[in-house]
């Protein structure tokens, strides 16, 4: 069996993956995304591991029995070009890492630490201890955290915020949340306006679909208000780009942590493949924004867990057993 690996986040875990799969499996590693090289390698492959499957890759991999995403999102997979015999699976294990990011970002923004850091670098002690004007910031105790989407990430984040004494509410597409422990209420997205008005911190982790794109816009951000914090770890376009920029610039909301964006680097071997402005708008000029490059879930713990899932499915395929975590074709 031949497995082509195009997921660069697995590179630090080569030895672990090799140790977990059958000895007769051949691994072909691609350290950078080079579509032409991957296409040339897929002709005799049984499995492809990676988050991006272009139409050319899908057509080249007619023998593929499994495409295993190295994470959750499948928005870069050309399903229409895959063989009907191919199965697509994904993997999670990022919820602990992202929950830590969300909690750290919320505390940092609510307590004004970004502004304090910038001021102190200029010799200014921006605190009520030394100045008139700066408020004494709140802790998370008693704060309301509103979850737009409440899956693995929302549930784990609610656990962490609960330990700090925060409360929670959630809206989802179906109105269901599974284990709703720690939430004051939950509903479908028709109650998004209520959530934005009641919440001190809003965590966005919903999936991006035609229905959810731009679901948070001018009205929702105005409802969040000048003390509210928005944290987006889902997909950038869930929040209207222009509305978000203007709300931060004009003080309509208090601040934001944005880990998911509107434009991304191309990847590949070009000298500037790791460079791209995340938006056409000058978000980098805003003092009340924490900007991170889609790294909230990128930790060693996340990818060790994902390696185990990927190795498990490779072993299942090799043994003729049913695959786990299959997301396409939809059952």
The pLDDT tens digits for 169-188 are: 999 999 999 876 679 999 99
Whole-number percent of the chain with pLDDT over 90: 95
Give the chain's residues under pLDDT 70: 180-181, 269
Give the CATH fold of the 2-93+300-328 domain: Rossmann fold (3.40.50)
- Its pTM stands at 0.94
126 in Cβ contact with 116 (< 8 Å): yes
| pLDDT of res. 180 | 65
The answer to whether 189 touches 213, Cβ cutoff 8 Å, is: no
Nearest of 53, 75, 72 to residue 64 by alpha carbon: 53
pLDDT in tens, 147-165: 999 999 999 999 999 999 9
Task: Delimit the CATH 3.40.50.720 region(s) of the chain.
Answer: 2-93+300-328, 95-291
8 Å CB contact between 148 and 216: yes
Report CA-CA distances (Å) from 169 to 46, 137, 159, 185, 194.
Answer: 44, 22, 13, 5, 10
Instruction: Determine the 3-state secondary structure of 172 from DSSP.
Output: strand
What are the pLDDT digits (tens) for 293-305?
Answer: 999 999 999 999 9
Strands 87-89 and 326-328, bridge-based pairing: antiparallel
Return the pLDDT at 156.
96
CATH class name, domain 95-291: alpha beta
pLDDT at 183: 96
């Amino acid at each position: 069996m031949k497995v082509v690996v195009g997921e660069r986040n697995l590179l630090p875990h080569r030895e672990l993956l090799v140790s977990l799969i059958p000895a007769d499996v051949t691994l072909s590693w691609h350290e950078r995304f080079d579509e032409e090289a991957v296409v040339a390698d897929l002709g005799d492959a049984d499995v492809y591991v990676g988050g991006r499957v272009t139409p050319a890759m899908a057509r080249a991999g007619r023998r593929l029995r499994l495409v295993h995403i190295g994470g959750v999102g499948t928005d870069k997979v050309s399903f229409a070009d895959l063989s009907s015999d191919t199965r697509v699976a994904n993997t999670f294990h990022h919820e602990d890492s992202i929950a830590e990011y969300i909690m750290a970002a919320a505390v940092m923004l609510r307590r004004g630490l970004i502004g304090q850091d910038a001021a102190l670098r200029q010799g200014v002690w921006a605190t009520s201890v030394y100045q008139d004007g700066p408020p004494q910031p709140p802790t998370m105790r008693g704060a309301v955290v509103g979850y737009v989407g409440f899956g693995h990430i929302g549930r784990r984040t609610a656990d962490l915020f609960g330990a700090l004494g925060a409360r929670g509410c959630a809206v989802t597409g179906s109105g269901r949340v599974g284990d709703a422990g720690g939430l004051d209420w939950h509903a479908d997205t028709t109650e998004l306006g209520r959530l934005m008005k009641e919440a001190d911190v809003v965590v966005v982790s919903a999936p991006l679909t035609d229905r959810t794109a731009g679901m948070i816009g001018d009205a929702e951000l105005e409802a969040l208000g000048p003390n509210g914090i928005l944290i987006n770890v889902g997909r950038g376009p869930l929040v209207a780009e222009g509305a978000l920029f203007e709300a931060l610039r004009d003080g309509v909301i208090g601040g934001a942590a944005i880990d998911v964006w509107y434009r991304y680097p191309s990847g590949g071997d070009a000298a500037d493949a790791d460079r791209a402005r995340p938006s056409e708008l000058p978000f980098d000029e805003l003092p009340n924004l924490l900007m991170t490059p889609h790294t909230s879930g990128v930790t060693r713990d996340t990818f060790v867990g994902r390696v185990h899932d990927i190795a498990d499915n490779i072993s299942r395929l090799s043994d003729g057993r049913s695959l786990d975590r299959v997301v396409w074709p939809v059952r």
